[in-house]
Amino acid sequence: MAKPDVIVVTGPTASGKSALALALAEARGGTVINADAMQTYDAFPILTAQPSAEERARAPHALYGILPLSEILSAARWRDLASTEIERSKVPILCGGSGLYLRALMQGISEIPAVPAGLRDVASAEWESMGAEAFRARLAERDPTIVARLKPGDRQRHIRAWEVVQATGWPLSHWQETRGEPAPYRFATILLAPDRAWLRARIETRFDAMLNQGVLAEARSVFDRKPDPTAPCLKAHGAPELFAHFRGQLGLDEARRIAIDHTRQYAKRQMTWFRHQLTPDLVVDPSNEQSMEGPEKYLDKIGV
């Protein structure tokens, strides 16, 4: 039996990916499969802009809000979950802007050997006892490539890189640069590439809409549970700023402003990644109404 074609709808945050993917799913009886790291978690459905109940009723959706915030989702694990959903779907439509996840599926990713139990605990304890600067310097001796990519205070990723080199004898950068087999599908990719000013305004409007939809109560509920501060889900855009507000470190207006600024910076990084790492079948400017067409037109253009 021939493998199904996979439609990929990607682009920067707040560019309208979910709406387009839903329209395509309705047009062809497809399933929208999440390709956004933060939307995989159940903690922040509003903050991470997950599809609403009404939208999910219009077409099947998969891999949204399936994990508790305490779990760590790697690109390799997401690839396996997505592959399962692709096989189940009549017309699979990947939707999201997590470039590493999409690359893992479309281009292949190396299989990092399992890390023995306890190594992460040891590395975490060393991060605390040595301090971030000394830990980073030690890692740089073994994996300077990965250190150059990491922000100095990124505890989780420094610990991950150290545990990998300890467990395997090879730096994490080596494993990341070693490609596995790509998934056996033909991908048809639509990239949303909006005007920068339009996207900046849209990011602000969307965050304000989230505030009106109850995102403060949502974030407060998670904050009150006193989650592990290293949980990946807590990096969702807006979560660190709202948590700082709950701790009395930021006023709400300031938290809002910083969250919007950080989200805009992230969108800019996403577009840089797409320009250098992705060869789309179709580029659409959602900020230009003249370039926007119905779902059937897009499907025809990408040959699906």
**Is 114 among the domain residues?**
no
**Is 136 among the domain residues?**
yes
**Is 54 among the domain residues?**
yes
Q: Tell me: do 279 and 130 sit in the same domain.
A: no
Which of 159, 177, 195 is the C-terminal boundary of a domain?
177
Q: Tell me: do 136 and 160 sit in the same domain.
A: yes
Q: Tell me: do 135 and 268 sit in the same domain.
A: no
* Range with lowest mean pLDDT among 132-141, 159-168, 249-258: 159-168
CATH number at residue 23: 3.40.50.300
CA dist 211 and 215 (Å) reads 5
Q: Tell me: do 277 and 133 sit in the same domain.
A: no
The mean pLDDT of 186-193, rounded to a whole number, is 94
Number of Cβ atoms within 10 Å of the Cβ of 255: 21
pLDDT category, 1, cuts 50, 70, 90?
very low
Cβ contacts of 203 within 8 Å, gap of 6 or more: 13, 14, 260, 263, 264, 267
CA dist 22 and 37 (Å) reads 19
Evaluate if residue 285 carries a pLDDT over 80. Answer: yes
Q: Tell me: do 168 and 98 sit in the same domain.
A: no
Encode burial over 174-207: b for 16+ CB neighbours within 10 A, e otherwise. Answer: bbbeeeeeebebebbbbbbbbeeeebbebbbeeb
The mean pLDDT of 107-128, rounded to a whole number, is 82
State how far the alpha carbon of 187 is from the alpha carbons of 3, 57, 94, 216, 278, in Å.
Answer: 11, 26, 10, 38, 12
User: What is the 8-class DSSP label of residue 170?
Assistant: S
CATH number at residue 162: 1.10.20.140
Evaluate if residue 4 carries a pLDDT over 60. Answer: no
Q: What domain range is 98 assigned to?
A: 6-109+180-301
pLDDT category, 3, cuts 50, 70, 90?
very low
Rounded (5°) CA angle 18-156-136: 130
Q: Tell me: do 207 and 291 sit in the same domain.
A: yes
pLDDT at position 2: 41
What pTM value is reported for the model?
A: 0.81
pLDDT at position 291: 62
**Is 171 among the domain residues?**
yes
The mean pLDDT of 11-25, rounded to a whole number, is 96
Mean pLDDT of the chain: 91
- How many domains are contained in the chain? 2
* Range with lowest mean pLDDT among 14-18, 60-64, 72-76, 107-111: 107-111
Q: Tell me: do 225 and 141 sit in the same domain.
A: no
The mean pLDDT of 84-89, rounded to a whole number, is 95
Q: Tell me: do 135 and 151 sit in the same domain.
A: yes
For 258-271, the pLDDT digits (tens) are 999 999 999 999 99
Q: Tell me: do 137 and 94 sit in the same domain.
A: no
For 195-242, the pLDDT digits (tens) are 999 999 999 999 999 999 999 999 999 999 999 888 889 999 999 999
Percentage of the chain exceeding pLDDT 70: 96
Which of 177, 198, 224 is the C-terminal boundary of a domain?
177
**Is 91 among the domain residues?**
yes
Which of 152, 177, 202 is the C-terminal boundary of a domain?
177
**Is 19 among the domain residues?**
yes
pLDDT category, 110, cuts 50, 70, 90?
low
Q: Tell me: do 125 and 258 sit in the same domain.
A: no
Three-state SS sequence of 204-254: HHHHHHHHHCCHHHHHHHHHHCCCCCCCHHHHCCCHHHHHHHHCCCCCHHH
Three-state SS sequence of 102-162: HHHHHCCCCCCCCCCCCHHHHHHHHHHHHCHHHHHHHHHHHCHHHHHHCCCCCHHHHHHHH
The residue behind tokens 């830990």 is: 135
Evaluate if residue 283 carries a pLDDT over 90. Answer: yes
- Counting Cα atoms < 13 Å in the Cβ hemisphere of 81 gives 20
Evaluate if residue 152 carries a pLDDT over 80. Answer: yes
The mean pLDDT of 88-99, rounded to a whole number, is 95
**Is 64 among the domain residues?**
yes
**Is 38 among the domain residues?**
yes
* Range with lowest mean pLDDT among 64-78, 92-106, 118-132, 165-179: 165-179
Number of Cβ atoms within 10 Å of the Cβ of 130: 13
- What amino acid is encoded at 260 in this protein? I
Q: Tell me: do 69 and 172 sit in the same domain.
A: no
The structure tokens listed for 36 are 């956004």
Q: Tell me: do 60 and 99 sit in the same domain.
A: yes
Percentage of the chain exceeding pLDDT 90: 68
